Copies of this chain bind each other. A is one copy, B any other.
């Protein structure tokens, strides 16, 4: 039975495992002050353009989110997010546990817009209400959509005008930056956001996210905060080695392209069958709307998740492809869909 449940089912790309093995008996400094981490940061920095960024390698995504958000807000400040945002729904109140409200705003296709942000500011005007100070967006979004460069420029503009920190959650950034519709680069992100992270866990690493801080005021004392939240790994070089492998050449993007290509084949099969989608299919997450009676059959051969009931007879489900998804499993799924849906 093949799983399209998520993009963290497999271990790590073999080049990562090989580098971990070949360097294993080296003695490295602890806490991320080692040569591999240094090298990984250099590789990433080369892709960020002229911006002087601080890069920190963090074990996981929820950790990165709670770290960044709690590091930069004063106690009375909140973060604006799409109501579908990961921090609003799927982090068990991790942000609130650090003392801050997530101001969830209704959104289309998982994306915040300048209008929605301005609306949040308008209704939070005095000291009886929390003060919006940060904007959280995800790319790809939780619905598999992406931000265009034009959209990100607009968001960045409104944030800078209104004194809001713009933070981008890049758990699936590889997929976002390598999909057909994308026109953003890492250098654009460094330019347009104040902080973002480059997800490793969902793109071929065992674990690890590379947090990029570009705004000067955000850099101070950040290692204290990493340590305090339990995110400063003793063997930080484990993260360094992995990002070194991902960025010493094009591997990071190659893996993203692969997961998108696998999703595209499934999408094509579904489009041909006239299936509609909960959100525009673009990246490695697809949300086709299927007849409920079919799901029982599908479950026998494939693993996936149900996203949302659409009506009594239809549900939107989620297929996720990854760096490790095989051509064979995609072919099997497409063939199953064609057989069953026609």
Query: Are B94's CB and A100's CB within 8 A?
Result: no
Query: Are B206's CB and A76's CB within 8 A?
Result: no
Chain B contacts for A65, CB-based, 8 A: 230
- A: residues with CB less than 8 A from B are 2-3, 5-6, 8-12, 14, 17, 20-21, 23-30, 59-67, 70-71, 74-76, 78, 89-94, 96-102, 127-131, 201-202, 206-207, 221, 223-235, 237-238, 324
Query: Are A235's CB and B207's CB within 8 A?
Result: yes
Chain B contacts for A230, CB-based, 8 A: 59-60, 62-67, 91, 94, 229-231
A265 to chain B, nearest CB (A): 18
Q: Tell me whether A232 and B127 are in contact in the complex, defined as CB-CB below 8 angstroms, given that A11-B20, A76-B224, A221-B74 are known contacts.
A: yes
Chain B contacts for A75, CB-based, 8 A: 70-71, 93, 97-98, 225, 228
Chain B contacts for A237, CB-based, 8 A: 11
Copies in the complex: 4
What secondary structure prevails in chain A residues at the interface with B?
loop
A208 to chain B, nearest CB (A): 10
Q: How distant is the Cα of A232 from the Cα of B101 in the complex, in angstroms? A: 19
Q: Tell me whether A235 and B206 are in contact in the complex, defined as CB-CB below 8 angstroms, given that A70-B75, A227-B128 are known contacts.
A: yes
Q: Tell me whether A92 and B224 are in contact in the complex, defined as CB-CB below 8 angstroms, given that A62-B232, A206-B235, A235-B201 are known contacts.
A: yes
Q: Tell me whether A96 and B99 are in contact in the complex, defined as CB-CB below 8 angstroms, given that A3-B27, A75-B225, A233-B60 are known contacts.
A: yes
Query: Are B23's CB and A227's CB within 8 A?
Result: no
Chain B contacts for A129, CB-based, 8 A: 89-90, 92
A102 to chain B, nearest CB (A): 8
Query: Are A28's CB and B12's CB within 8 A?
Result: no
CB-CB nearest in chain B for A23: B11
